[in-house]
Structure 1
Amino acid sequence: MTTTGPTALFDLDGTLTDPYPGISGSILYAIERLGRPPVDEATLRAAIGPPLEASFAAMLGGDAILAKEALAHYRERYAPVGLYENKVFDGIPEALATLKMNGIQLFVASSKPRVFCERIIEHFGLGSFFTTVHGSELDGTRVDKGDLIAHVLASEAIDATRCVMIGDRRHDISGARRNHLRAIAVGWGYGTAEEFAETPPDRIVPDVPALADAVLSELGLAQ
Structure 2
Amino acid sequence: MHKALDDIALVVFDLDGTLIDSAPDLTTAVAKTLADYGLEPAGLDSVRHWVGNGSHKLVERALANAAADGVDTDEAHEAFLRHYAAAPCTDTVLYDGVRECLESLRDQAYDLMLVTNKPIAFLPPILDALDLNGFFSLTLGGDSLTQKKPDPAPLLYAARQGDIAPGAGLMIGDSRHDVQAGKAAGFRTLAVTYGYNHGDPISDSGPDHIVDSLAELL
How many residues end up aligned between the 2 structures? 207
Deviations 1:124-168 (A, max 9, x none): 111122112111228x84344423223323344332111000011
Q: Which has the higher contact order (CA 8 A, sep 6+)?
A: 2
TM-score, normalised relative to structure 1 = 0.82
**Kept in 2: contact 1:49–1:190 (CA 8 A):** yes
Q: Is 1:179 equivalent to 2:185 in the alignment?
A: yes
Question: Structure 2: how far apart are the matches of 1:12 and 1:75?
Answer: 18
Residue number in structure 1 paired with 2:3: none
1: CA distance, partners of 2:176 / 2:148: 14
Q: Output the aligned Cα RMSD.
A: 2.5
Shift of 1:192: 6.3
Equivalent-residue separation in structure 2 for 1:177 and 1:65 (angstroms):
37
Q: Who is 1:199 aligned against?
A: 205
Any stretches of 5+ residues in structure 2 without a counterpart? 1-7
Once the two structures are TM-superposed, the CA of residue 119 in structure 1 deviates from its matched residue by: 2.3
Which residue of structure 2 aligns with residue 219 of structure 1?
none
CA distance in 2, matches of 1:180, 1:64: 42
Find the partner of 2:169 among 148, 153, 163: 163
Give the SS at the match of 1:136.
coil
Gaps of 5+ in 1: 214-223
Change (3 A) 1:164 1:42: same
In structure 2, the residue matched to 1:221 is none
* Residue aligning to 1:30: 33
One-letter code aligned to 1:14: G
Q: Is the 8 A contact 2:12 2:171 kept in 1?
A: yes
Sequence identity percentage: 25
User: 4+ runs of 1 displaced by more than 6 Å?
Assistant: 62-65
Matched, 1:142 2:147: yes
Once the 2 structures are TM-superposed, how far is the Cα of residue 55 of structure 1 from its aligned partner?
A: 2.9
Return the alpha-carbon distance in structure 2 between the equivalents of residues 112 and 164 of structure 1: 20
CA distance in 2, matches of 1:116, 1:152: 19
Equivalent-residue separation in structure 1 for 2:155 and 2:90 (angstroms): 25
Give the partner amino acid of 2:107.
Answer: M
Q: Distance in 2 between matches of 1:83 and 1:194?
A: 26
**Which residue in 1 is equivalent to 2:10?**
7
Letter in 1 for 2:147: R
Q: Does residue 88 of structure 2 align to residue 85 of structure 1?
A: no
Of the structure 1 ranges 85-94 and 51-60, higher mean CA displacement relative to structure 2 is found in 51-60
Other-structure match for 2:4? none
Residue type matched to 1:142 in 2?
Q
